[in-house]
């Protein structure tokens, strides 16, 4: 039988535990609705001890956001293997895994929460967007994006964010369909831009040539052709 003696955590270990507990609570409810007392209770410590590690809920919230931002940015990482459409589809799957797991917290971060509007929070949101932007360019094999390509990629990232927020309100569209639609949206945005710009046309031709007949991009083309017939 055990002695029942609880092991004392080190400073950094306790900080990481509190961040994990807070992130879990903020993921299930708006941060405005979560109290320090709840965080302390979930961590199995006293309220004063929480303040020993974090000066207040705002600082703990920002620490939890940092952890979430690192996680979310990592969802856009994907091996450079196979056609672009399939890669983007896998990225969307991981992105919506995050949205599913952290719905209220994701919504609070994007729409308004206790730390939203602060320079630290804005920097975190921007870091996720920039990581996503750089990953997409990497998959396209481009380091310096032409002006129209930058518009397409950044507009698509904003579309993914806003679509996820609307979806969370009622989940009225099946998630798998939405993920595929967003991949189609990327192709559509790129194709429209290509109609106006030779550089974009070259980018679209390059990734379209490597798409198999059953890829998401090929599926979009088939759907559009069927509408015109």
| Cα separation, 74 vs 226, whole angstroms | 37
Q: List, in sequence order, the alpha helices (H) in the chain.
A: 11-28, 36-43, 47-53, 57-74, 84-101, 103-111, 119-140, 147-170, 175-194, 198-208, 216-228
| Cα separation, 7 vs 88, whole angstroms | 45
pTM: 0.82
- The pLDDT score that the predictor gives to residue 3 is 45
Confidence of residue 118 (pLDDT cuts 50, 70, 90): low
Above 50 in pLDDT, residue 1? no
CATH number of 64-228: 1.10.357.10
Confidence of residue 208 (pLDDT cuts 50, 70, 90): confident
Listed by start position, the domains of the chain span: 64-228
pLDDT tens digits for range 42-98? 999 999 999 999 998 888 888 888 888 888 889 999 998 889 999 999 999 999 999
Above 90 in pLDDT, residue 229? no
pLDDT tens digits for range 142-184? 989 999 999 999 999 999 999 999 999 899 999 999 999 999 9
């Amino acid at each position: 039988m055990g002695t029942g003696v609880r092991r004392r955590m080190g400073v950094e270990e306790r900080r990481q535990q509190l961040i994990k507990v807070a992130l879990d609570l903020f993921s299930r409810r708006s941060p405005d609705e979560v109290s320090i007392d709840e965080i302390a209770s979930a961590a199995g410590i006293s309220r004063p001890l929480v303040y020993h590690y974090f000066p207040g809920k705002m600082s703990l919230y920002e620490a939890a956001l940092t952890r979430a931002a690192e996680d979310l940015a990592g969802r856009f990482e994907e091996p450079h293997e196979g056609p672009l459409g399939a890669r983007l589809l896998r990225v969307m799957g991981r992105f919506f895994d995050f949205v599913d797991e952290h719905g209220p917290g994701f919504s609070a971060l994007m729409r308004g929460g206790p730390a939203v509007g602060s320079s630290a929070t804005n920097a975190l949101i921007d870091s996720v967007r920039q990581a996503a932007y750089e990953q997409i360019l990497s998959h396209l094999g481009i380091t310096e994006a032409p002006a129209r390509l930058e518009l397409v990629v950044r507009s698509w990232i904003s579309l993914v964010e806003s679509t996820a927020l609307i979806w969370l309100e009622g989940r009225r569209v099946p998630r798998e369909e939405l993920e595929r639609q967003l991949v189609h949206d990327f192709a559509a945005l790129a194709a429209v831009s290509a109609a106006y710009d030779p550089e974009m046309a070259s980018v679209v031709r390059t990734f379209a040539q490597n798409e198999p007949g059953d890829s998401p991009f090929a599926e979009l083309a088939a759907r559009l052709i069927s509408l015109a017939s």
